[in-house]
Amino acid sequence: MRKCAHLVFLFSWLAFPTAVSAQNVFYGERVPDDSKLALFFDKDGFPYPDYAISDSSMTRAYGSLFTWFMQHNEAFIELSAQHELFPERIDKEAIFRLRDSITAGNIRRINERSSDFPAVAFYVHGFRKQFIARQSGVTSVEEFRLLEANLKTYGKPQALEIEVYWDGTYDCCFSMNHKRNKALFELYETAAGYARAVGLGLRPVIAGVKSDQIQVISHSLGARVVTSALFGQEVEASAVPAQKTVSICLLAPAIDGHETFLSWNERGVSFQPGEKDNYRLLIVYNENDFVLRKKDPKTGLFGPGTHRYGETSLGCNYRKEAVKLKAYFEKHYPGSEMVLVDKSALGKAHSFRVYSEGSNLEEVSDFLWKGGN
């Protein structure tokens, strides 16, 4: 009987309502806002165009803009013409040319403003973030607002801020139903695959920015987007950023440490022994983060752990994963600055908004601007 009680507790962690079916997160119905610079990606890392695309039609396209274009030929021809592209047929090559044109337009918009700022900053949200509030929880939009407001409290220069929205999937919610919770863990694995593709879609944008200083802040599974964008994975197919300083801050990264960073130097460039790297890395971890530990928040005993349903060991320093990574950097990447910040005092919290309260981002702010001096 006692064992059954523990199991019931495990699957009522958050006491939310029962789940609806798993879904992609779409951005085709967004209202344009010229006051903010933002990038929007589908699950394949394809950038959303400035074109109205209904959520219902994206559902029929399985969350894929490529599939949507194949299903909506007239819209594709119209949008291509807006980009001064006039394909003779609608195929993979034609759709990829449109993708590259959309990407070039995003880079152009950023560079039109970047000269007015000492740095360009990219912010990347994590898993299970709604764009438009429909269920309980904080949207990606709200999280970015909290982050940006908090960073302004430290008296540092103002960066040109780019919000990166991606299909991190959404499904509600944890409950007492074991099968439903298992589906959410499996959904995380799906989102991790999307994150890698989105990173490759983001890579040419960051690389194309005309600024000596690039800053990148991610939360949770957003770290998978960032690491995919900045090193490794098909380096020859897309140049990685080569600005003077690229400062990377991973907040509670939902990734592993060792395997991810084996390809840290895979950027299409070679480093001489002792040569200073233009990349700098800061990892903010929380050993008590119950989401990354994948354990119940009450006892910490029940749940699949950091290695099942996607690696999450780095952000909670499981078995000293973060500490071991720093030692690995010191031995194998001596020219790369790597800093650890322990935020275990935050308790079991994982939410982006927790890091955007009080002075919790002070070390992040100091790190970002120290690199530009």
Task: Specify the amino acid at residue 69.
Answer: F
* Per-residue confidence (pLDDT) for residue 178, from 0 to 100: 63
With cut-offs at 50, 70 and 90, classify the pLDDT of residue 13: very low
Given a cut of 60, is residue 4 above it in pLDDT? no
Q: Helix (H, G, I), strand (E, B), or coil: what is residue 41?
A: strand
Report the alpha-carbon distance of residue 210 to residue 241 in Å, rounded. Answer: 10
* CA-closest candidate to residue 361, choices 213, 220, 249: 249
Given a cut of 50, is residue 175 above it in pLDDT? yes
127 or 310, higher pLDDT: 127
19 or 276, higher pLDDT: 276
CB distance 188 to 308 below 8 Å: no
* Per-residue confidence (pLDDT) for residue 196, from 0 to 100: 95
Across residues 101-109, what is the average pLDDT?
A: 98
* Per-residue confidence (pLDDT) for residue 39, from 0 to 100: 98
CB distance 252 to 360 below 8 Å: no
Report the alpha-carbon distance of residue 113 to residue 143 in Å, rounded. Answer: 23
* Per-residue confidence (pLDDT) for residue 272, from 0 to 100: 72
* H-only helix segments in the chain: 2-10, 55-60, 65-71, 73-82, 92-114, 140-151, 178-208, 222-230, 258-261, 290-293, 321-332, 352-355, 362-370
* Per-residue confidence (pLDDT) for residue 84, from 0 to 100: 98
* Per-residue confidence (pLDDT) for residue 275, from 0 to 100: 87
* Per-residue confidence (pLDDT) for residue 95, from 0 to 100: 98
Which string of DSSP letters, residue by residue, matches 266-332? -SS----TTPPPSEEEEEEE-TT-HHHHTS-TTTS--S--SSTTS--TTTTTGGGHHHHHHHHHHHH
Given a cut of 70, is residue 371 above it in pLDDT? no
pTM of the model: 0.91
Task: Specify the amino acid at residue 34.
Answer: D
* Per-residue confidence (pLDDT) for residue 356, from 0 to 100: 94
Q: Domain map of the chain by residue range?
A: 49-114, 117-370
Given a cut of 80, is residue 365 above it in pLDDT? yes
* Per-residue confidence (pLDDT) for residue 213, from 0 to 100: 98
Across residues 267-274, what is the average pLDDT?
A: 75
With cut-offs at 50, 70 and 90, classify the pLDDT of residue 17: very low
pLDDT, tens digit, 9 for 90 and up, residues 223-254: 999 999 999 976 555 688 999 999 999 999 99
pLDDT, tens digit, 9 for 90 and up, residues 285-337: 999 998 888 765 665 555 665 667 778 999 999 999 999 999 999 999 999 99
CA trace torsion 347, 141, 23, 294 (10° rounding): -10
* Per-residue confidence (pLDDT) for residue 36, from 0 to 100: 87
* Per-residue confidence (pLDDT) for residue 5, from 0 to 100: 33
Across residues 272-295, what is the average pLDDT?
A: 88
For the chain, what percent of residues have pLDDT higher than 70? 85
* Per-residue confidence (pLDDT) for residue 80, from 0 to 100: 98
> Which segment of 5-19, 27-41, 184-198, 260-274 scores lowest on mean pLDDT?
5-19
11 or 109, higher pLDDT: 109
With cut-offs at 50, 70 and 90, classify the pLDDT of residue 156: very high
* Per-residue confidence (pLDDT) for residue 119, from 0 to 100: 98
Q: Could you count the other beta carbons within 10 Å of the beta carbon of residue 157?
A: 11
* Per-residue confidence (pLDDT) for residue 302, from 0 to 100: 59
Mean pLDDT over each residue of the chain, to the nearest integer? 88
Given a cut of 50, is residue 19 above it in pLDDT? no
Across residues 196-216, what is the average pLDDT?
A: 97
Given a cut of 50, is residue 141 above it in pLDDT? yes
* Per-residue confidence (pLDDT) for residue 8, from 0 to 100: 29
**Residue range 117-370 in CATH 3.40.50:** yes
With cut-offs at 50, 70 and 90, classify the pLDDT of residue 350: confident
